[in-house]
Structure 1
């Protein structure tokens, strides 16, 4: 129960995979003594958010900050871009779709950044088609041979689309046995010691034990495996297929809960919508290295306008100016730090698991003490 312990609460038997900090209506944060964050922001948005943020994003936080700790692998999924989200949300609103059956709970895109607090395992983005073909070649399973045929016929984004579509459609049309046979072939190849990628076959075998017969288990043959070490970060753009497998991380994203699931979940899966949303171009995972503001603070600049992540580590020797602008959320990661601003020179103390909101008009933020803090801000 990593997240409850991090937050200082008592773990229960119920697994906790995520904890949100932000103003999304699905799970708005509570402010100490000031009610829900969205209501507080609506009281004076230009002062609290800044006129430029309100003009660009409306009277709410443009980002959502999370803690994420997969108890078992989370769903294979993709997020829409802004035009897809707006069109999908409008379409479902007009049709009066039951909220529980919607793909688009809001009209926003959902690019995201993951910052690892422990070793964090994932799959993200499509491999080069020829490499995916190498991993499928020799697997004694009909589904694997069909997917391989698509990639051999067209070692391009078109072939990747055909192979991935074959996998998802086969799995949805009562093809659990075909998926299980492919996963079993990966497990047998791993045991033989002749695997072209022991890491990939291990992932497939692990996923198959958690989600037997789910096509998402075999999808790992087409996707890039990723290991983030503590302090490393990865950006997942809209349209990027991914699944988070294990570990503990901070996740920062646009203020959206639009998730299109392809597998590895008991939740609703919409394969046609997934296939219309995916970016099929093969590309390596997008790792974001921090740009150092000073010897204590690194800023992870995501290639979007909605958010940026800053992380500061102080050793108690000096106080530091914490770069950032607009509305900010500061989340304590380790130790205990004092947070002051031009508007509040007395400040507050932030310990591990505690989060503080800093309004746009509070000016320069300074940190002192011993510990580490992550800051969500607006570029």
Structure 2
């Protein structure tokens, strides 16, 4: 068992206050977009034995937000190990033979806190077969792993689930052709009429793919002026006359952050989703999606493979994105938790890489068991909790986390608070 220290990712779209406020800190000077708990080589968590021992991450290397500075300001600072290095010294002992056989010598999942204050890029993640082929292809042509034009920095898929801590908004998957036609109808601008004609001529996923391709392809993408005209048309349309006032409002809102970006228009083709606290959404391979706002827990396979479709200044490989994107209409996949004990509820997703449980403790004097097996990460989301791991006693407060290895199988807890547990089933 090891204590973990999460790693701040200060992407520009992040909130200055959502994650710091959750852990009792003042708003940060820079965005705190994500806080990573895991062994991903981009930002592996620090590990240590004493919860009072903290590592210092120098400014300019992923800690612009200063949250870690606030966390360590009251105590001494130590150099310490990272989780990927800790696992790498004896993978079978830490991960277990089953995980090594299935996933190799790496932790199969990554846990994040995510706090978008602005819309993230429209993006798609590949299947594992597509990721393996893309990774090998980019290796063969000599694209460095750190090159920003690289789409496949690893050979893994990246299914993901987000669990809402606050109200959380997203765009996920394509609407049905009939619904797309309804949303586009009546918008008095050239690009809406052209997209409507494309889908009307072929009202199925092929027509939707053609409309989407026209929006994001370099040769046919609408001009910034055309996008501005569509935003104005959405703004003019009265809610009582609109088939989707929500879609109109989202396009206007996204346009404030990305004026002239064709991804603003693409948002009208996608399903808007609102998660309320405690609800969860699963996004499989091939599904176009973008997170808009809120605070959530995100769990995914340990991968950084992203193909972007818009709402970004980063590299976009449109041909590859269109090749792996699924344009068949499908409702967003909301996952309901199954209560497996009086205190523990588990979200079962249709992949083997990860499984998320919520442990809610209300009776501080009652010691209860937590179901699960290592390797796993436990994060205290709220409150204060006492844990017994293989008979050893530990305490965690809000924001503190633990990594449990393959041998740390027996866990009991007591306290008042809420724990997040992620494991590979």
How far is the alpha carbon of 1:173 from its aligned partner? Answer: 4.6
Q: How does 1:140-155 map to 2 (within 5 A)?
A: 140-155=188-203
1:197-249 Cα deviation digits (max 9, x unpaired): 11111101100111101111111211111010101000000111100000000
Establish whether residue 255 from structure 1 lines up as the match of residue 302 from structure 2.
yes
C-alpha spacing 1:114/1:75, structure 2 compared with 1 (3 Å): same
How far is the alpha carbon of 1:6 from its aligned partner? Answer: 3.0
- 2:237 paired residue among 161, 174, 189: 189
Contact between 1:171 and 1:214, CA under 8 Å: does it hold in 2? no
What residue is the counterpart of 1:114 in the other structure? 162
Contact between 1:171 and 1:213, CA under 8 Å: does it hold in 2? no
- 1:311 paired residue among 352, 358, 364: 358
How far is the alpha carbon of 1:8 from its aligned partner? Answer: 5.1
What residue is the counterpart of 2:114 in the other structure? 68
What residue is the counterpart of 1:85 in the other structure? 131
What residue is the counterpart of 2:376 in the other structure? 328
What residue is the counterpart of 2:272 in the other structure? 225
Q: How does 1:356-371 map to 2 (within 5 A)?
A: 356-371=402-417
What residue is the counterpart of 1:346 in the other structure? 392
Contact between 2:214 and 2:221, CA under 8 Å: does it hold in 1? no
Contact between 1:314 and 1:372, CA under 8 Å: does it hold in 2? yes
C-alpha spacing 1:63/1:171, structure 2 compared with 1 (3 Å): farther
What residue is the counterpart of 2:44 in the other structure? 28
Establish whether residue 206 from structure 1 lines up as the match of residue 253 from structure 2.
yes
Q: Quick one: distance in 2 between partners of 1:339 and 1:171? A: 59
Q: Quick one: distance in 2 between partners of 1:347 and 1:53? A: 26
Establish whether residue 299 from structure 1 lines up as the match of residue 346 from structure 2.
yes
User: Which secondary structure state, in structure 1, belongs to the residue aligned with residue 273 of structure 2?
Assistant: strand
Q: Quick one: distance in 2 between partners of 1:289 and 1:302? A: 10
C-alpha spacing 1:173/1:234, structure 2 compared with 1 (3 Å): closer
Establish whether residue 275 from structure 1 lines up as the match of residue 291 from structure 2.
no
User: Which secondary structure state, in structure 2, belongs to the residue aligned with residue 101 of structure 1?
Assistant: coil
Q: Quick one: distance in 1 between partners of 2:393 and 2:306? A: 37
Establish whether residue 104 from structure 1 lines up as the match of residue 152 from structure 2.
yes
Q: Quick one: distance in 2 between partners of 1:75 and 1:292? A: 34
User: Which secondary structure state, in structure 2, belongs to the residue aligned with residue 146 of structure 1?
Assistant: helix
Q: Quick one: distance in 2 between partners of 1:363 and 1:304? A: 22
What residue is the counterpart of 1:266 in the other structure? 313
Aligned positions, number: 376
Q: Quick one: distance in 2 between partners of 1:317 and 1:183? A: 56
User: Which secondary structure state, in structure 2, belongs to the residue aligned with residue 217 of structure 1?
Assistant: helix
- 1:166 paired residue among 184, 200, 214: 214
Establish whether residue 51 from structure 1 lines up as the match of residue 67 from structure 2.
no
Aligned-residue CA RMSD (Å): 1.6
Establish whether residue 12 from structure 1 lines up as the match of residue 59 from structure 2.
no
Indicate the structure with greater helix content.
1
What residue is the counterpart of 2:287 in the other structure? 240
C-alpha spacing 1:118/1:233, structure 2 compared with 1 (3 Å): same
Establish whether residue 337 from structure 1 lines up as the match of residue 385 from structure 2.
yes
User: Which secondary structure state, in structure 1, belongs to the residue aligned with residue 407 of structure 2?
Assistant: helix
5+ residue gaps in structure 2? 1-16, 50-79
Q: Quick one: distance in 1 between partners of 2:132 and 2:26? A: 40
What residue is the counterpart of 1:177 in the other structure? 225
Contact between 1:171 and 1:179, CA under 8 Å: does it hold in 2? no
How far is the alpha carbon of 1:295 from its aligned partner? Answer: 2.1
Establish whether residue 355 from structure 1 lines up as the match of residue 401 from structure 2.
yes
1:304-335 Cα deviation digits (max 9, x unpaired): 01000000100124222111123000111100
What residue is the counterpart of 1:284 in the other structure? 331
Task: Report which stretch shifted further, 280-289 or 97-106.
Answer: 97-106
Q: Quick one: distance in 2 between partners of 1:186 and 1:278? A: 26
User: Which secondary structure state, in structure 1, belongs to the residue aligned with residue 28 of structure 2?
Assistant: coil
